Amino acid sequence: MYRIPLTLVFILCSLHLALAQTFSISGRVTNVSTKQPVPQAEILLVNTGGLYQADAKGNYQINNLAPGTYTLTAYSVGLGSSTQPVTISNSNVILNLELKPLEGQLKEVNVKGEVEKTFSVTRLNSVEGAAIYEAKKSEVVVLNDITANLATNNSRQVFGRVAGLNIWESDGAGLQLGIGGRGLSPNRTSNFNTRQNGYDISADALGYPESYYTPPTEALDRIEVVRGAASLQYGTQFGGMINFVMKEGPEDKPFELTSRQTAGSWGLFNSFNSIGGTKGKLHYYTFYQYKRGDGWRRNSGFDAHTAFASVHYKPTDKLEIGANYTYMNYLAQQPGGLTDAAFAADPRQSVRDRNWFNVNWNLFALTMDYRLGERTKLNMRNFGLIAERSALGYLEKINRPDPNVERLLLQDQFRNFGNETRLVHRYDFLNAFSTILVGARYYHGFTDQKQGMGSAAADANFRYYPDNGNPSISDYDYPSRNLALFAENIFNISPKLSITPGIRYEWIRTIADGRYDVVNKDLAGNIIYEERVQENRTNTRDLILFGLGASYKHTENFEIYGNFSQNYRAINFNDMRVVNANIRIDQKLQDEKGYSADLGLRGGIAELVNFDISLFHLAYDNRIGLQPAKDTVTYMNYLLRTNIGKSRNRGVETYVETDVLKLLYGKGYNRYSLSVFSNLTFVDADYLIEEQVFKDKKVELAPALIAKAGIAFKRNNLKLSYQYAYTSEQFTDATNSISEPTAVFGKVPAYWVMDLSGSYTYKRFTLETGLNNLTDERYFTRRATAYPGPGIIPSDARNYYVTLQVKL
C-alpha cells in the first residue's frame, strides 16, 4: 500500500473546495440624488483586491464566488463611495449600491483578507499602496498570529510558513537576520532587497547590500516577502524583496502602552516598551528595546539597544505625511568558529576570546502619500542612513592557536541617502480596468572602509595601533550612484485573465578610491615581500530589464499565476577589495546576470484552507562564488572569489495550511481552532560548466530539501504552537568540498529542529513561553569565512523563554 503524503492530501482538499459550486453577486449602481444609473462605475471586491466595472446602464456582475462573506466598495468620478458587506450562502445575491454626490475624497481602502482571521500567512493584493503585485509570488507573515520567541527574533519560527528559505543561525540573540531563498546565500540577507516601511535599511543597497540591522519582531505588524520578479520594482537582485512593516498606534484612542519583559536561558533579558495612539489628524508609534545575554557558547555575550519613532499627519483626506527614525547600537563578543573535530568534541567551546563586533545604526525617512484623484495616487519616500560597524579580532585560520598578537580591525562608515517616487493610476482599457505604475529612484551611497591592526589586548578597543589611528592595511572610499526608472502595467484582458508587463532602466556607477598594502609572509611568519598600492577604479554601466506576468483567476479563491523577470547583480565593495586571510578577490570579477521565472497556483477559503504551490527557475550567468586555490609563492590554500560561470536553480515550493476542525465540522465551528501546515521545498541547483573541477557540481548553499510542518491550537485566549524544521545537507563552495583542516569550506550536514511555544491572555496581561530546539540537537547552519568565524558556527542548544506582556 502506498502512503499519500500529507501535503498531497491538503492540495487535493484545497482543489476540491476551490472548485466547488460557485455563485455571483450582481446589481445596479445608481446616483442617490438623481436615481439615475451610474455608467462605468468601479466596484472593488475588498477581500481580494479585484476590480470590476459596471456597464453603461450601471449594471455589474461578479461571478465564480464561493460561499462566504464579502465586502464591496463602489465609486465613480464626481461621486462619493459606498461600502457594503454581503454574505453568500447557497444562492446568487443581488446587491444594489447607491452613490452620493462627492463631498469629500475617497479614502484608501486598506482591508486585510479574510484568510488572516485564521492563518498567519496571507498574500499581497494585486495593487497595494504604491506597488503592483499581480502575478508575483508573495507571502505576508502576520506577526499577531505567530506564536514564537519574538524577543530573540527567532527567524526559524517567524518564517516557518514561508517556503524555500535557507536560514543561518549565527547568533541566538537575533541581532542579524540571515535568510536566502531558492539556493541563494543567506549571508546577512544580501540577496534580498531589504526594507522597512518601504525604504531601504541595508548598509548600501547597491555596493554593500548586507543588513546589520534587523527590526525587532515585537514591533512588527507584518513581514512582506516578494520573490524574484520584484527586481523590476525594487532593484537589481535575484532573491526578491523583504519589507518589515512596523506597527502603528491604535486609531481609536490617543494613548496605548505596551510593555513586554522577557527572561530566558543563558542570562537572556529583553525589555520592550512601546506607546502609540491617534489624536485628531496625527497618529504616532514609538518603542525602545533593551536586550542582553551571555550566549550559549563562551565568549558570546551581547548588549543591544534599539529605538524607533514614527509620526504621521493627515492635514486633508488627500495628503498624508510621515516621518520615521530608527536607532540601533549593539556590542557583541564573537566566540569564533570551530574545526570539524572541535565541533564533534564540544560544540559549546570557544577558541577565540578577543573577537568583538559593534554596530551603530541611524535610519531616517520622510514619506508622502498624495491622492491626485479617485484613480491616481502619488507616493514619495526620502530615506537616509548614517551608520558604522566595527569588527575586531584574530581572524587567521581557526586550526591555529591565537598567539595574542595585534588583532585585525575592520571599520566601515555608511552615509547614504535616496529618493523613490511612484505614481499609480487606474484607467479604462478595453472595457475593463487597467492599472499602471511608473516610478523613479535615485540613490547616493558613500562607504568609507578601513582595515588595519588593532590592539593586542582582549577588550573591545576599536582603535588602530600603532599608526596613530591610521589603518595599516587598507583605506578606501566607495562612492556610488544609482538612477533607475521603472514601469509596470496590469492589463485586465477579462474578469479572469490579466497580463502584467514591466520594464526597468538602471544607471549604476561604483568607484573604489584608496590604497592597500601587499604583505607576503613565509610559513614562519617572515615578511618576504611588501608593497603599498594606490588604486582608483570606476565602473559605470547601464542596462534595461524586462519582465512579464500573467494571472488567471478561475474563481476568487483559485488563481494560476506565472512570471518571468530579468535579473542583475552588480559586484559590491567586497568584490572590489577585501583583505582576508581566507579569501582573495579575482581582479577580473564581473557583474552577474540572469533571469527568474515562476509558475504556480494559489488560493484558499477563508478560515478553511490556504495554499500556494509553485515551480521556479533561476538562471545565472557569470555567477560569483568561492573556488579553492593555492598561493604560488607560499603554497598556502585560500578561497578565490571569482565568476564561477553559469548555474541553474530550479525547484518546487509548496505551502498548504488548513483548519482541521472547520474542515470537518464546517466554517461555523468556532469552539476550537486546530491549524495544520506543511511547507516543502525541493531544489535542484547545478553548475552548467564543462571544466572538470566544476562539472556536475551542485551550487553552494542550496539544500535539496527544506521541510517545515507544524500545528497551531487556539481556544479563546490560549494559543499553542509546535513546529518541525528540516534542512538537508549543503555545500559551501563551488567544488563541493567535503571538509578541510580550516573548516572554512566543506559540507554542512543535514539537521532538524523542533520548537514548542504557547501564550495565554487574561484581560490586559499576556504570558508567553516556549522551548526552542526541543530535543537539544547539536547542529550548525554555516561555515564562516571571516566574522563571526572563521570556521563552523554552532547553533544554540535547547533553550527556554518566558515573556510577560501588559497592555494599557
- Render pLDDT for 289-316 as a digit per residue (tens, 0 to 9): 999 999 999 999 999 999 999 999 999 9
- Render pLDDT for 228-255 as a digit per residue (tens, 0 to 9): 777 788 887 888 999 999 999 898 899 9
pLDDT at 238: 86
Cell of 660: 482541521
Domain count of the chain?
A: 2
Q: Could you give the angle at the alpha carbon of 10 between the alpha carbons of 9 and 16, nearest 5°? A: 90
Mean pLDDT (the chain) is 87
Domain presence at residue 128: no
Measured distance CA(256)–CA(260) in Å, rounded: 13
CB count within 10 Å of CB 286 equals: 16
**Residue that is written with C-alpha cell 464626481 in the block:** 78
Q: How confident is the model at residue 269 (pLDDT cuts 50, 70, 90)?
A: very high
- Render pLDDT for 480-539 as a digit per residue (tens, 0 to 9): 999 999 999 999 988 889 999 999 999 999 888 998 887 776 666 677 777 888 888 888
- Render pLDDT for 152-184 as a digit per residue (tens, 0 to 9): 999 999 999 999 899 999 888 888 899 999 999
Domain presence at residue 458: yes
CATH number for the domain that contains residue 67 = 2.60.40.1120
Domain presence at residue 223: no
- Tell me the β-bridge partners of 445: 480
pLDDT at 10 over 80: no
DSSP letter, residue 573: H
One-letter amino acid for residue 249 of the chain:
G
Domain presence at residue 296: yes
CB 130 within 8 A of CB 488: no
pLDDT at 587: 74
pLDDT at 637 over 80: no
Q: Is 87 helix (H, G, I), strand (E, B) or coil?
A: strand
pLDDT at 89 over 70: yes
User: Which of 2-16, 129-143, 291-305, 451-465 is least confident?
Assistant: 2-16
Cell of 41: 462605475
- Render pLDDT for 378-399 as a digit per residue (tens, 0 to 9): 999 999 999 999 999 998 889 8
User: Which of 92, 111, 130 is where one domain is finished?
Assistant: 111
User: Which of 186-195, 350-359, 659-668 is least confident?
Assistant: 659-668
- Render pLDDT for 414-462 as a digit per residue (tens, 0 to 9): 999 999 999 999 888 877 778 999 999 999 999 999 999 999 999 999 9
- Render pLDDT for 740-793 as a digit per residue (tens, 0 to 9): 888 988 999 999 999 999 999 999 999 999 999 999 999 999 999 888 889 999
Q: Could you give the angle at the alpha carbon of 201 between the alpha carbons of 196 and 205, nearest 5°? A: 125
Containing domain of residue 18, as a range?
6-111
Domain presence at residue 184: no
CATH number for the domain that contains residue 313 = 2.40.170.20
Q: Could you give the angle at the alpha carbon of 195 between the alpha carbons of 263 and 547, nearest 5°? A: 140
pLDDT at 110 over 50: no
CB 330 within 8 A of CB 304: yes
pLDDT at 639: 74
**Residue that is written with C-alpha cell 511608473 in the block:** 438
Q: How confident is the model at residue 21 (pLDDT cuts 50, 70, 90)?
A: low
Domain presence at residue 376: yes
Q: Could you give the angle at the alpha carbon of 740 between the alpha carbons of 737 and 745, nearest 5°? A: 55
Domain presence at residue 588: yes
Cβ burial of 251 (10 Å; 0-12, 13-18, 19+) is exposed
What are the residue ranges of helices labelled H in 411-558? none
- Tell me the β-bridge partners of 726: 707, 752
User: Which of 111, 137, 157 is where one domain is finished?
Assistant: 111
pLDDT at 633: 66
CB 476 within 8 A of CB 512: yes
pLDDT at 116 over 50: no
Of the candidates 719, 727, 728, 723, which has an alpha carbon nearest to the alpha carbon of residue 709? 723
Q: How confident is the model at residue 108 (pLDDT cuts 50, 70, 90)?
A: very low
Q: What is the mean pLDDT of residues 271-276?
A: 97
User: Which of 111, 139, 160 is where one domain is finished?
Assistant: 111
Domain presence at residue 221: no
CB 770 within 8 A of CB 743: no
